[in-house]
């Protein structure tokens, strides 16, 4: 590489010293970088091609056989550079400018240059947003499902405690309904908040309607008075059957709220709560 550079420098010096006043003046407007570029051996063919494109030499000229466009004997590279300094300067300037245009040209894809950095940036931002939204939706679903499981478990416990209190009561006042009613209202409010925006979830709507209806408000509370221990035990088993179906329904609701699966959520449009078909009598 150092040998090539030295050769170029010596060659340029020889041209400047031996090419006459006209040759030196013509090349004076070229910068050192332009001269080095155009005189480099690997660019000679390109320079002759540029001269041909400008009509200074014939189209079939090559570095070792340069023919002027106006005619005349063929010339070697060095003879053309020395003898036609103005043509050399014009061709060199054109070649350097054309090379700069090639480097600044858009990519072969035809896309504007800014798209080459803007599109990846846009795609990256979109993926980041989608990932953030996915995690947010997953976390919201998990939180809502956990809440449903907690309040439904509290309601189940309240119903179980109420039934057990009746079975163990032979004399005295009836067990209090306050804890059971409070647990039912809390469950209903939680389900309305977590599934109310799902207008097509008929499963949730039917379950809520039943929760507000007489089954959980009246039927559980009634039917205990005047019964012997065996009859109370039988009724407690009916209540337990309702609670098993209740557990199934609330877990289906919690799973649908928690899941991001379309399949699980679509089931809420067609299924019927198992608890609505359980009789307490």
| Mean pLDDT of the region 3-32 | 49
Lowest mean pLDDT among 17-26, 144-153, 178-187, 195-204: 17-26
Sorted by where each begins, the domain ranges of the chain are 2-104, 126-277
Task: Please report the sign of the dihedral spanned by the C-alpha atoms of residue 261, residue 247, residue 220, residue 275.
Answer: positive
Confidence of residue 271 (pLDDT cuts 50, 70, 90): very high
Q: 191-239 pLDDT, tens per residue?
A: 999 999 999 999 999 999 999 988 887 788 887 888 888 888 888 888 8
- Is residue 93 a contact partner of residue 102, using CB atoms and an 8 Å limit? no
Prediction pTM value: 0.55
- Reported confidence tier of residue 12, pLDDT bands at 50, 70, 90: very low
pLDDT tens per residue across span 108-137: 555 566 667 778 888 888 888 888 888 888
DSSP character string of 144-170? HHHHHHHHHHHHHHHHHHHHHHHHT-S
Tell me which residue has tokens 């910068």: 31
How many Cβ atoms from other residues are within 10 Å of residue 113's Cβ? 11
């Amino acid at each position: 590489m150092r040998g090539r550079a030295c050769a170029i420098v010596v060659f340029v010096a020889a041209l400047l010293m031996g090419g006459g006043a006209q040759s030196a003046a013509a090349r004076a407007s070229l910068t050192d970088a332009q001269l080095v570029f155009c005189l480099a051996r690997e660019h000679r063919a390109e320079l002759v091609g540029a001269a041909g494109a400008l009509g200074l030499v014939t189209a079939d000229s090559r570095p070792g056989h340069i023919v002027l466009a106006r005619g005349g004997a063929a010339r070697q590279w060095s003879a053309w550079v020395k003898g036609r300094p103005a043509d050399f300067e014009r061709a060199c300037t054109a070649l350097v400018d054309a090379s700069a245009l090639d480097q600044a040209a858009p990519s072969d894809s035809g896309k504007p240059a800014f798209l080459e950095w803007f599109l990846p940036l846009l795609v990256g931002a979109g993926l980041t947003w989608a990932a953030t939204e996915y995690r947010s939706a997953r976390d919201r679903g998990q939180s809502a499902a956990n809440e449903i499981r907690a309040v439904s478990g509290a309601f189940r416990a309240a119903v179980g405690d109420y039934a057990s209190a009746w079975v163990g009561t032979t004399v005295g006042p009836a067990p209090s309904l306050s804890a059971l009613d409070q647990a039912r209202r809390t469950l209903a409010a939680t389900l309305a908040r977590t599934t109310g925006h799902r207008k097509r979830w008929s499963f949730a709507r039917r379950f809520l309607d039943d929760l507000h209806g007489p089954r959980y408000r009246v039927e559980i509370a009634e039917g205990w008075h005047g019964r012997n221990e065996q009859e109370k035990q039988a009724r407690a088993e009916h209540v337990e059957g309702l609670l098993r179906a209740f557990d199934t329904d609330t877990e289906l609701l919690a799973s649908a709220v928690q899941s991001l699966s379309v399949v699980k959520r679509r089931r809420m449009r067609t299924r019927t709560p198992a608890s609505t078909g359980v009789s307490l009598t």
